[in-house]
Structure 1
Amino acid sequence: MFQQTNIQAILFDYDGVVVNMDKTLALKAADDHYASFILPPLTVLTDLIYNNPFNTELDLGKISIEELRERLRVQAWKGDKESWSQWWEAVDNSYKISQPMQKLLSKLHSKYRLGLISDNHIGFRRWLESRPDITQYFDTIVCSAEEGIKKPDKRIFLHAMHEIHSTFATTIFIDDYQANVIAARTFGMPAIHFRTYTQMQEELQKILGSLCKYKGDYHAITKRAL
């Protein structure tokens, strides 16, 4: 991977990159409702949530997060709906951003324009507003359900480029899903397939050389664009 000296922006995937589920917390919450599960809680967390047939509809804004969770409840739960909702709230709260990631984002945000590009539900942006520990680092958030398109569709990347006032060639893209990374590279983006935090940081260092090269004024650029 060659060194880029003209990088102006970095786009991050959300789930699996910026945050990760703390399964210990989610499973601990499941202990209070263990008798209500039809499927083992770990199966629900690692398989049903991510590999159910309804996620594409969710990510494209065709169904709400409430509709998805009701469909999953039928498959995974024999308790009452209120307890199911309580457990899901605990699952939502189990997504954590690590201290090393926070420090890295803070350093990057002082020199580069940062954005989130997430395949997520229509209420994702509203929910994320309750997480200033995450949103403080990002200049823009692009959500698939709001746009009606999802990664790796080129159009959602183009929308993100417009929002962050950048181009494919001057924007790094980081995602834990390899197909999205491959697509981004075909669009001309320097892209990193996230596997571990350390690996991602090392690859970022290779691209940027120094994490403090670009010194453009994001707010000045934004004002000129308006």
Structure 2
Amino acid sequence: MENLVCKSYSTIIFDLGAVLIDWNPRYLFNKIFSTPEETEYFLEHICTPDWNEEQDAGRSLQDATEMLVNAYPAYEAPIRAYYGRWKEMLGGTIDDSVQILYQLKETGQYRLYALTNWSNETFPIALVQYPFLQWFDGIVVSGREKQRKPDTAFYQLLLDRYNINAAEALFIDDNLRNVTAARNYGIDSIHFTSPEQLKNALSTIDIQC
């Protein structure tokens, strides 16, 4: 993590999945498959993270599904379940992180934004399910923009759209790849590992020089 002590931030940018929202495909596929090993094989070799990220970058859910069904017809049912039962992958909010977001909002000191890798077709479900998303001053969704982290253009899009000064912004993400990209782009960042760790890191903002 960058040294955050004695630096003034006007803007805090949150990732959503695994920081504020507990999303995990294992919640679904542990119901579908008989053993954890079968689930892991499916998620590592069939519906892989790389495949999922293409939907985050704008590929349609239908195109993504049909591509895999054609390639792996023996897995047609679980492949179709990936988006057919997508809501079952949502485990709820990460409550302590949401409480941190709430406290930041209540201070009135910061502009709050979200920068998320998320399919534009499933994100409306999250907007309905998680009212706290309305607390943000703006949300940039990769699937809508057809760009995603860690591409530098995606960070710049957020900065330009909301007139954010990168030197006054702080970015929070659980994916070290995305954190590293933001830091390389001049945005101080916290690599999120737990709400307690985030709370401790954010406490340095209040230290006076």
TM-score band by shorter chain is 0.7 to 0.9
Shift of 1:189: 1.4
The answer to whether structure 1 residue 11 and structure 2 residue 8 are counterparts is no
**2:86 alignment partner AA:** W
- 1:65-109 CA distance string (max 9 Å, x none): 233244445647354887665533322xx2421221221111111
Q: Which residue of 2 aligns with 1:117?
A: 115
Aligned ranges for residues 127-206 of structure 1 at < 5 Å?
Answer: 127-206=125-204
**1:169 alignment partner AA:** A
Shift of 1:2: 3.6
The answer to whether structure 1 residue 106 and structure 2 residue 102 are counterparts is yes
Shift of 1:142: 0.6
Q: Secondary structure at the match of 2:140?
A: strand
Mapped to 2, the partners of 1:125 and 1:23 lie a distance apart of 15
Q: 126-135 vs 71-80, which deviates more?
A: 71-80
Q: Which residue of 1 aligns with 2:60?
A: 64
Mapped to 2, the partners of 1:19 and 1:209 lie a distance apart of 26
State the TM-score, normalized to the length of structure 2: 0.78
Mapped to 2, the partners of 1:55 and 1:68 lie a distance apart of 8
8 Å contact from structure 2 (residues 116, 141) kept in 1:
yes
8 Å contact from structure 1 (residues 142, 160) kept in 2:
yes
Gaps of 5+ in 2: none
Mapped to 2, the partners of 1:48 and 1:16 lie a distance apart of 22
Q: 107-116 vs 126-135, which deviates more?
A: 126-135
Q: How many residues in Structure 1 have an aligned counterpart in Structure 2?
A: 201
**1:15 alignment partner AA:** G
Q: Matched residues, percent identical? A: 22
- 1:9-68 CA distance string (max 9 Å, x none): 11111212121236774356x2xx447x9x82344457754524x33432321x212332
The answer to whether structure 1 residue 26 and structure 2 residue 22 are counterparts is no
Mapped to 2, the partners of 1:170 and 1:85 lie a distance apart of 38
Identify if the C-alpha distance between structure 1 residues 163 and 124 changes in structure 2 by more than 3 Å, giving closer, same or farther. Answer: farther
8 Å contact from structure 1 (residues 77, 84) kept in 2:
no
